[in-house]
Structure formats: C-alpha cells, structure tokens
C-alpha cells in the first residue's frame, strides 16, 4: 500500500473532532470540517485594509471535508456553510477529501 492509499484509508482519523475537525453544516448537512486558518492570514490583512478604505470586506477561507470526487462543488457554485451563502472560488479533490475555498462579500 502506497502513501496515498494509506491516507485515503485514514481520512476518518484525520478529519474528526478528536484531531483537527469541528462540526459545521454544509448545505444543511452536519459534518466534520477542517477550516484552514493559516491559508487566510495574508488575505485577512488585505481585507482589513480594503474594509477601512471601502467599508466592505471579503470573508475568504478554505475548508476540507471527507467526500467523493463526484461531490466536489464547481467554481462559482453558491455553497451554504453554517447557514450562510458563499461563492466557491476554488475546489479540488485530494486523496478522499474536498478542499474548497469560499468567499463572501460582507459589509
């Protein structure tokens, strides 16, 4: 068994509440989700500057959750995350999980 096969087998260990995941709702379905905060740190600084200048800022973050390739949302799709609609900016399927970047204008 190679590394990727082992990772797919262990995805339920990685994405669970005892490790990195938290319960969230995607399209009104409760599931274990990892929010990648580190990927957004530079974006948040730019968003703060934009908010100061324009009064509107963008909320952008990356989520990861167990899925199949067929369940991967398309770019431009409106995804409901914790009851709020976001635009799917980017989505890819990686070793048994969806990695999705979400964006929403707020103000």
Q: What is the pLDDT of residues 9-52, one digit of tens each?
A: 667 667 767 677 899 999 999 999 999 866 555 555 555 555 54
Report angle CA 9, 95, 31 to the nearest 5 degrees.
Answer: 75
Measured CA to CA, the distance from residue 51 to residue 57 in angstroms comes to 5
Q: What is the pLDDT of residues 69-86, one digit of tens each?
A: 889 999 999 999 999 999
Report angle CA 41, 105, 29 to the nearest 5 degrees.
Answer: 85
Does 96 or 3 have the greater pLDDT score?
Answer: 96
pLDDT of the residue at 58: 75
| pTM of structure | 0.76
Report angle CA 59, 91, 26 to the nearest 5 degrees.
Answer: 65
């Amino acid at each position: 068994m190679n590394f990727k096969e082992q990772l797919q087998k262990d995805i339920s260990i990685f994405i669970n509440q005892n490790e990195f995941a938290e319960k969230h709702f995607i399209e009104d379905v409760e599931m274990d989700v990892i929010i990648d905060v580190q990927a957004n740190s530079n974006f948040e600084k730019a968003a703060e500057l934009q908010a100061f200048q324009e009064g509107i800022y963008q909320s952008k973050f990356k989520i990861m959750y167990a899925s199949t390739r067929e369940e991967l949302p398309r770019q431009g799709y409106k995804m409901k995350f914790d009851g709020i609609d976001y635009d799917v900016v980017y989505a890819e399927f990686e070793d048994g999980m969806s990695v999705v970047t979400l964006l929403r204008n707020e103000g």
